[in-house]
Amino acid sequence: MATQHFINDGETLVQDALDGLALTNPNLIYDRANKAIINSEHDGNKQVTIISGGGAGHEPSFAALVGNGLLGAAVSGNVFASPSVQQIVNTVIKVGGSSGTLLVIMNYTGDVLHFHLAAEKARVAGFDTALLVVGDDVSVGRKRSGRVGRRGLAGTILVEKVLGARAQMGNVTLPELQKFGEDIVGRLATVGAALGHVHLPGRPKADFVESEDQVELGMGIHNESGCRILKPQPPIADLIDQMLDQILDVNDADRHYVDFDPKNTVLLVNNLGGVSSLEFSAITKTAIDRLGIRNIVPVRTYAGAFMTSLDNKGFSITLLNTNDEIIQYLDVPAYTLGWTSTGSQASGTKVQAAQEVESSNRVHAEYASTSLLRVDITALSTALLYACHKIVDVEQEIDRYDAVVGDGDCGSTLGRAARAIIKSIKDDEFFAANTDAVRFLDTIAQIVEDNMDGTSGALYAIFLNALAASLRNIGLVAKKEIVVEPTQWVQASAEALEALQRATPARAGDRTLMDALEPFIATLKATRTVSTALAAARDGKNKTKGMPAAFGRAVYVPEQSWSEVPDPGATGLVYFLEGLFSNW
């Protein structure tokens, strides 16, 4: 792929690209502060709002899919990087309404964690929000993908097209739309192929060693390696046959995800960005021919650049096992620049004045996460301070553990967040005066987000935001001011754990902080006894010594290292819980 670009500043490139999209479509509003494209005609009180997003570099996904009949808004990160949590939350607040908001994303760790956290924060703010994660790749089979699941690829476009049409027709609730989406995801299979990797603007040239006579089968959309390199490069018919084998072979237990009905199959051929129109048309014709040999005649065929990987010289094939209802929604026109297969057209809305757009960009996106639940702020702050000081005291110990099985910064990461909480509680008058349990937790969660990096930060923040959201719902049921009871803390903690488990496949037994968190909450829920729950957390942490790792950098270290130390994340959590409940 080309290593020269006209624009080498990645940040400028993304911002200007989004700006250019809005300038060429009068129905779109560009929110520069949040790198979001918004449908100016969308009414979130009349229909469920669908918001998608992810890293830039996949255009027209997702920004150019914003419009009537498809997305209400799309949020963009930098090239191949997830948007921030606050970008997503602010966009939900601006675009979502009383009908609820469905966040539709592809199955990549950064997107999954950030959008899950954003959904919890939006719930805290009072916005009914749900998440749909699309995984349609079959090239990386069950053995390699494990519980992380299938990668999200171009099949995501079909999911969003169907759900966008269904939402526009109205008379559907957020849970119903989410369930419908899950059904569509289960009907999808995609595989890609490319002649090489791509170069990211403004980045050093990668060390990819590529032959001019090879094809990478199963390559992802972020330069991820495929499942097989075909060398020498096979004829196009042979290549497509191998791709279709991965999708359709019912005897391939590792990749067989969908049973396709030959009479009810939709075909989407997707240009990854760098294939010429001439060559791509021939590829599409060949895909249809090779399906015909298998007695599959697609009931609908879509071909074009729907989800690219910058200028990757490659393509993907998606099959959707459909039915009459899904076809009905696929046939509903969508008025967006990115969905051209149905004859995209402008709706003729009057062009907004520049000052109106600028005013829209300044909409105040902060929210007041208040509730009717009250706490003893002095006791809670004192317990939290003690727990944070405990973390600071053991910071180096945890770093030593992490140096054996990770990158050596777990303790520092926890310590940085702990010191930030200590400083805020001591210096901020808010903590001295505010007795609102939800507001307190929401503020602590924001401090964690701002000061705790990486996966640990996302996991803690998701749990804290989910805890706040659950407490808020308890307060809404009570309909009066009440002091939070221990049973309500336990209930909210159990619900927060469930929310966290929806965001990550990690479970007890995988050598993560879940080995301490899950037994702590389960025991607390069963016994209502803190000392017993703490003992269960310690036991869970101790069991991680010698336990094979399933997630994180520890997966890649020599196995003998696992027996030397317990999991650093689980250790840090146990120390924190011991400090928090030291005076219980």
Q: Which residues are catalytic?
A: 222
Residue in the block written with tokens 């921030």: 84
The span from the CA of 545 to the CA of 561, in Å, is 9
Cβ contacts of 528 within 8 Å, gap of 6 or more: 486, 487, 490
Please state at what angle helix 277-293 crosses helix 236-248, rounded to 10 degrees.
50
8 A C-beta contact, residue 309 and residue 222: yes
Whether residue 546 is annotated as binding a ligand: the answer is no
Please state at what angle helix 454-478 crosses helix 486-503, rounded to 10 degrees.
130
The span from the CA of 223 to the CA of 220, in Å, is 6
- For the chain, give the longest Cα–Cα distance: 74
Whether residue 53 is annotated as binding a ligand: the answer is no
How many CB atoms neighbour CB 130 within 10 A?
19
Which residue spans within 383-542 are E strands per DSSP?
Answer: 482-483
The span from the CA of 493 to the CA of 521, in Å, is 7
The span from the CA of 92 to the CA of 246, in Å, is 37
Beta bridge partners, 105, equal 133
Whether residue 304 is annotated as binding a ligand: the answer is no
8 A C-beta contact, residue 334 and residue 164: yes
Nearest by Cα to 369 from 117, 121, 128, 130: 121
Complete DSSP assignment for 164-187? HHHHHH----HHHHHHHHHHHHTT
Complete DSSP assignment for 357-417? HHHHHT---------SEE--HHHHHHHHHHHHHHHHHTHHHHHHHHHHHS-S-HHHHHHHH
Whether residue 469 is annotated as binding a ligand: the answer is no
β-strands 300-304, 228-230 pairing = unpaired
Nearest by Cα to 174 from 134, 136, 119, 106: 119
Beta bridge partners, 41, equal none
Residue in the block written with tokens 């702020």: 377
Counted residue by residue, the chain has a size of 584
Cβ contacts of 109 within 8 Å, gap of 6 or more: 148, 455
Whether residue 58 is annotated as binding a ligand: the answer is yes
Name the H helices within 44-84: none
Name the H helices within 24-170: 85-95, 109-124, 142-145, 155-169
The span from the CA of 369 to the CA of 387, in Å, is 24
Binding residues for substrate: 55-58, 111
Q: Which residues are annotated as a binding site?
A: 55-58, 111
